[in-house]
Amino acid sequence: MSWPALFDAMGLIAALAGGLLVFRGSWRRWTPEIGFSILVILALMAAFSLIGLLSSLGLAECPGPIRVAVDLMIPLMWGLFFWVWVQHLTGLEIRSAQARSQWMTTHPRVLAWTSDTDLRLLVARVLPDSLTDEAPSSEFFPGRPLADLFQAENPDSEPLAAHRRALAGQVSEFDHSWGDRVFHCRVEAIKDGRGRPTGVQGLARDVTEQRKAEEALKITESKYRAVVDNALEGIVVVQDGRLVFYNHRFESETAYTADVLDRSYIEFIHPDDLPLVADRYERRLRGEGLDYPFVCRVLVADGGVRWVEIKAIPTLWEGKPAHIYFFKDATDLKEAEAARVESELQYKTLFQESLSAIFVLDEEARFVDANRAGLDFLACDREELLGRTLWDFSPPDQLERQKKAHGTFTRPRVQETNFLVGDSIKQLLLNMVPSKHRGRTMLFAIGQEVTPYRRVEEGLEASREALKKQRDLFNNTIEALTHPFYVIDPYTYQVLLANRAAGVTAGDSPMTCHALTHKRSTPCSGEEAACPVDEIVATGRPATVEHLHFDAQGLPRYHEVHSYPVFDEQGRVAQVIVYSLDITSRKRYEEERKGLEMQLRQAQKMEAIGTLAGGIAHDFNNILAAISGYTELAIFKQANMQKTRENLEQVLKASERARQLIAQILTFSRQSEQELKPLELEPIVKESLKFLRASLPSTIRIDTEMTVGSSVVLADPGQMQQVLMNLCTNASHAMYDRGGILTVRLEKVEMTAEDRTRPSVLAPGRYLRLTVGDTGPGMPPEVLARIFEPYFTTKKPGEGTGLGLAVVHGIVKSHGGTIVTESEPGRGSRFHVFLPLMESGTEVEAEAEETALPRGTERILFVDDEEPLVDIGRQMLEHLGYRVSTRTSSPEALELFMARPDRFDLVITDQTMPNMTGIQLSEEMTRIRPGLPVLLCTGFSLQLSEEKMKAAGIWRLLMKPLSIGQVAGVIREILDGPAEPGRGRG
């Protein structure tokens, strides 16, 4: 190949290779204009080289001039190519320098730098007034690593990583510290004309003070956040109608969680209150000042409803308008408001609908208000009455007296007041109470018209006079009779009337026979003599029976008793007239046959009756207290006929209880010879315990256990009852001071020859065992060895004869049985009575003018374990004007007193009550509040000295039954007299 051909081939290859490189963009610094120029030059070079090569190889005909032109153009093209290249490189440097200079001048007061793609500095400049010695102090020369500028030893540090991200096309920002100054850096790529990165440019601004301010702002926001989150009010922020913030109080009150954010506030408002809340929200958006709170209902997370009080204020939240809502729970407020409205409605209803006349007057006695009954009484309407005074209705002759009474009116009082209504004078019983109302003294007067009752009283007085004349005539007639004459209530057995001869027969005066029961004044001899009173009630016909009575000397007297019924308007036996003839002379010889054993048993039985009489006194007095109390209340409350009827019904109930108790006493005390017959013992035991319950103090509890089924023994009923009563009375005496448990057990036992528990005096066989036990102090062995000896007793003189257990022992022995005793000091005593059981199948006989009372307004606590007596006491004391609290349990009374010891001015308490006696209650109360007046009531004749009464805090002692006059006087003596306890008995 010739040299020209070789030269042409090399030119063609160089042109094609250069064009390929330019086309693929390998030379990234070239601009599009330069690159296009070089491509054109390279194309011409390739064309001329191809023509020359073909010509040199003889493959194409080429004229001489064209060949010469081709040879000249190829060197020319190479020269042009190198000139364009040089121009490109020179222009590139100039443009880069211009860009850097322009960027530097654009940010004259910041740290600025540029680097190439290898992160080597091209140029860097510090602030003219550098704020820190640690920042670069002079311009860095090109070529130094970028890491030196940022003092970065780790190639993965944030400044270098940010520059690499910038080369990838991402603008990066970061904070960097030089010394104690903080700079915010921003880096981005430097690109050529075709958008290709050729380096990185960056700048850093001193933000030290800004960062300090931001940190202080964070601390401040944290403090305010703590205040808001711990506020006692719920706080929420509503923006554009949606919740954007709430505090912990809102979360705890509603149980909502973070999922409520960005929800509409409407979702949390009760539908009925939504119009109110929405209206206020819209008005606030319009700029209306609604800074006062309002109350509405909100819905909580569990579906419930809460009343809240809300106050809202406008604010800016993250630069946008919003409202802050403060709310607190208003449930109690709404309930109190509802209760107030209901109370006012109730008061208005009671005020207007009351049947009593009610007036409200001011200090000048001017009518402020009146109810319908008051307006009807004064015969005027409300508009006509208001503004008039009380004196406008006063009779002229009473005007000055009524004004004087009104002027001195400072305490509640009850008085009759006359009113001039039209031409007539009406009387009103007024209960007047002064009270403060809105800073003014008002007089509340509640009245009941008494004019019709005065007319009734006048008629009753005339009837009483006529009745008195008839009664005097009747009394004179019966007093002339030489034989006993009684008028008896057939249902209570109470003696309503007795003549002088009856008093001589009973050993009493005629007056002391009144209010007694005829079975006490003239005791029946036994069940074989039918009671004429019962017979008359059953048949309605007159009856004549023969009865045994005892005179004042205790000598037996036989009487032939003639009884006649007196009927009421309904044909019911209302009274029984009893006329008695003495037939003792023909009966006396029969009494001489009584032997010593009967006398002994009868003496013991009378002792038991005496013992029981003391025990029953409390119950009797409670019954009599009910009778007398309700009767007195019936007299004092004639205006309330319904209440009078209820009180009289209580009188009948109490009387029936008295009748039952007397029947039990007569059953127990009947006299007869021993009569052994098949007897079911369990009913006798139950009947006796029922009778015994009335004679025992309430501090003793009776526990019974009957597990025998059939309990037939050969015995005398009266003597079996006597055995049980004597044993139970003995046991109750052992527990009288401290109380305890009386145990009565009836059971079958079978004694075998090998049985070690069998008493030696008993033969093997089947027995009925009656056990009576107590929780008293027990007996020492020396006393236990002598308890069945006649006249041996451990009681004080006058409290017992020592015959009770001796008689029990004799009766049990006479029935073929025995009695065994167990006792230990401090563990009580037990008596076991063994009686032979009869064979099964044995038939058992079947058994057949008013004065003014002192009154008051103090607070009194009344305590008694009997419901009727508590009711009577409350009514009595309220009638006297006192404010009364009652309790039927001494522990409950003590608990009420301890809650507010200064609440009561006086305590009235019964003595015998379960758990705590009246004396013990007084001791506890006066220990809490020394000097508290205590009035003790009892049905027993307690022997308390003044020293004992003072020690227990007892001021006075009253015996039952209580009367309203006695109670009224004693209360005023205590409350108005010297302040000291133990001043006597009432």
Provide the CATH number for the domain around residue 969. 3.40.50.2300
CA–CA dist 644, 636 (Å, integer): 9
> Residue 178: beta bridge partners?
181
CA–CA dist 667, 661 (Å, integer): 10
CA–CA dist 458, 455 (Å, integer): 5
For 193, the domain range is 107-213
Q: How far apart are the first and last CA of the chain?
A: 166
The answer as to whether 462 is a domain residue is no
CATH number for the domain including 772? 3.30.565.10
Give the residue among 547, 516, 542, 517 at the shortest CA–CA distance from 530: 547
The answer as to whether 606 is a domain residue is no
The answer as to whether 641 is a domain residue is no
Are 130 and 77 in the same domain?
Answer: no
The answer as to whether 637 is a domain residue is no
Q: Are 413 and 854 in contact (CB under 8 A)?
A: no
Are 111 and 187 in the same domain?
Answer: yes
CATH number for the domain including 554? 3.30.450.20
For 114, phi then psi, to 5°, come to: -135, 150
In whole angstroms, what separates CA 13 from the centre of its chain? Answer: 111
Are 153 and 57 in the same domain?
Answer: no
pLDDT attached to residue 83? 65
Please spell the DSSP secondary structure of 519-544, one letter per residue: HHHS----TTS--HHHHHHHH-S-EE
pLDDT attached to residue 877? 93
Exposure class string for 775-791: b at 16+ Cβ within 10 A, else e: bbbbbeeeeeeebbeee
Please say which residue of 93, 126, 154 terminates a domain.
Answer: 93
For 335, phi then psi, to 5°, come to: -65, -40
DSSP SS3 for 826: coil
Please say which residue of 836, 867, 897 terminates a domain.
Answer: 836
Please say which residue of 154, 178, 213 terminates a domain.
Answer: 213
Six-digit token pair at 670?
């009947």
Task: Write down the residue that tokens 């000249």 correspond to.
Answer: 72
The answer as to whether 864 is a domain residue is yes
The answer as to whether 946 is a domain residue is yes
Average pLDDT per consecutive 10 residues, the chain (986 residues; last block may be shorter): 62 66 51 61 67 61 62 66 61 51 46 86 63 46 78 87 91 87 91 85 87 78 68 80 81 76 82 85 76 81 83 80 82 80 82 85 86 88 88 86 72 83 85 80 84 76 84 81 83 83 62 54 53 83 80 72 89 87 71 52 56 57 70 65 69 60 47 70 85 80 83 85 88 87 92 80 88 92 82 68 77 90 90 87 53 88 92 91 95 94 94 90 94 86 72 87 86 82 57
Are 259 and 203 in the same domain?
Answer: no
- Burial of residue 278, with CB atoms counted within 10 A of its CB: 0-12 exposed, 13-18 middle, 19 or more buried: middle
CA–CA dist 834, 831 (Å, integer): 10
Q: Are 201 and 188 in contact (CB under 8 A)?
A: yes
Six-digit token pair at 574?
């209302």
Q: Are 615 and 732 in contact (CB under 8 A)?
A: yes
pTM equals 0.28
Are 661 and 803 in the same domain?
Answer: yes
Six-digit token pair at 489?
């209530």
Pairing of strands 234-239, 320-329: antiparallel
Are 440 and 359 in the same domain?
Answer: yes
Six-digit token pair at 507?
């050993």
Are 963 and 823 in the same domain?
Answer: no
CA–CA dist 935, 971 (Å, integer): 8
pLDDT attached to residue 260? 78
Are 89 and 111 in the same domain?
Answer: no
Contacts 24+ apart (CB under 8 A), 132-138: 132/178, 132/179, 132/180, 132/181, 133/179, 134/178, 134/179, 134/181, 135/111, 135/178, 135/179, 135/181, 135/183, 136/111, 136/178
Structural domain count of the chain: 7
The answer as to whether 615 is a domain residue is no
Are 693 and 814 in the same domain?
Answer: yes
Are 879 and 902 in the same domain?
Answer: yes
The answer as to whether 850 is a domain residue is no
CA–CA dist 870, 885 (Å, integer): 10
Residues whose CB falls within 8 Å of the CB of residue 640, separated by 6 or more in sequence, listed in order: none
pLDDT attached to residue 431? 85
Are 180 and 277 in the same domain?
Answer: no
Distances (CA, A) of 779 to 147, 565, 775: 112, 56, 11
- Give strand ranges (E) for 681-735: 700-706, 712-715
What count of other Cβ atoms lies within 10 Å of the Cβ of residue 551? Answer: 14
Are 746 and 809 in the same domain?
Answer: yes
pLDDT attached to residue 259? 75
